[in-house]
Structure 1
Amino acid sequence: MTGTNFDTLPETRRPQAGPPLPPLAISVIALSMISIMLPMLLAGGANYPSPFGPEEEIVGWFRMHPTSAILTVLLQFAASVPLAIYAAAVWSRLNRLGVRAPGPAIGFAGGILASAAMAVSAAFTWALTRPEMLEHPELIRLLHDLAFFAGGPAYVVPFGLLVAGIAVPGLLARLLPRWLAIVGLVLAGIAMIATLVVAIPELAILLPIARFPSLAWIVACAFLLPRSRAAANRGAQSGVSTTEAARR
């Protein structure tokens, strides 16, 4: 699981550390949560329409709340950018920590796919804000379903790969607290099961169960993942907590 200890190399030969993880993770969760809460407030408390609701309710919401819809698009699309950067940065961090197993690459692929799915979902929702679309209820329903699929299963399942790609090496290489790594594996498992939502809509409850705790989980990892293998080793040898090791 481990390779060259990069901290023993001369400064000019060490791989670049990459952007700091905490600001990226916080940006993802902040933009994601604001994209849900702020449009609802602007819509007077009216919830974003469920894709499983009646067509009249869906069409009526987009006709009555175009500003809320476009704000959802803006914030959702904005959240996809730091997510992609986070996936690349954490892949680089794990490589710097000496992890040579496929896990980080799988996590990177999952993060990029989740970011792309979020952007595609925003694109479908953006199409719903076009005035000419509001005269075609059947197209509104179709685009809303596509936006749900992209922002639901197509986002959550790859996000589970990102979580698993961090949790597995975090557990095996002792880069994360054991409890945090195990929680990540459980969340990744729930995200994988959410694939069944495509065939069994009643399992859609798994989407928020996997989505929101996973967002909080990547924030915790951003703070606790050590910056160098030497820091992780020092923490393990001296009994220092992973939190303290991550600060060194």
Structure 2
Amino acid sequence: MLKSRIILIVIAIALIAVFFSLPKVVVDNENESIDKGSEAPALDSSSEQQASTSADEIMSESHSGKIPEEIRQDIVRLRNSYELAKNQENSAIFADSLASVYRNLNRLDSAAKYVELSKEDNELIGNAYYEAFSFAADVDKAKRLAVKTREYLQKVLNGDPANNSAKIKLAMTYVSSDNPMQGISMLLEVVEEDPNNEEALFNLGILSIQSGQYSKAIERFEKLLLHHPDNIQAEFYLALSLMNNGQKVKARKLFTEIKNKSNDEQLLAAVESYLNEL
């Protein structure tokens, strides 16, 4: 389900912080051009190499919060079993179990590493690294996770150029890099081929908010909701765009509607905060 896929990067307050840290870019769909104050050079192979790291290094970086002793013991047991496994099938089973444990702990980089060790599906691995990339609070770690995401999702696109879901995720790793224009171009390619693509319209709307193009953001989210009316995250960002565009009456009405139908505590907290400002 598409909603469950995109929610990984759109949970209320957390996403606001993530996307407002992206490079300031201007998306002009009508002229199919992208303007930036100073155009950044494309990443070359050497800069990609500098940003990359082994998955082991990514996984071993510190996390906030302490793992409960019982779960820590499970991890130790599963790691030992993985290392002592006598064949690939058993190794994959233990790695898959470790991926589940780490995902339940929200240690998504570690989870992605063990997905990589347990699966052969490039898209599944790429999506796991993309999820970790989406929530990475550390800039350097995010860069390295983006490289891992691109490593696998590019393979997916090479085999299936029409896979827009992989293309959108790949695009978003570039949008938050030193080469955002490449990512935005990829998103525009998707909406040119599939004008009502929910994920592409959502991300373009977010990027329009980030660059202060609130009218464009309104246009994106209204089009998205016309074809995907149940996307409450899009409603939230439409309301936010209306508020910032001076349409406060419409914004208040929409925020109130969201408040009355959502049970998401984080989303409701964000809605209440903005209603207090209006």
TM norm structure 2: 0.22
Which has the larger helix fraction?
Answer: 1
TM-score, structure 1 length as denominator?
0.24
Q: Which has the higher contact order (CA 8 A, sep 6+)?
A: 1
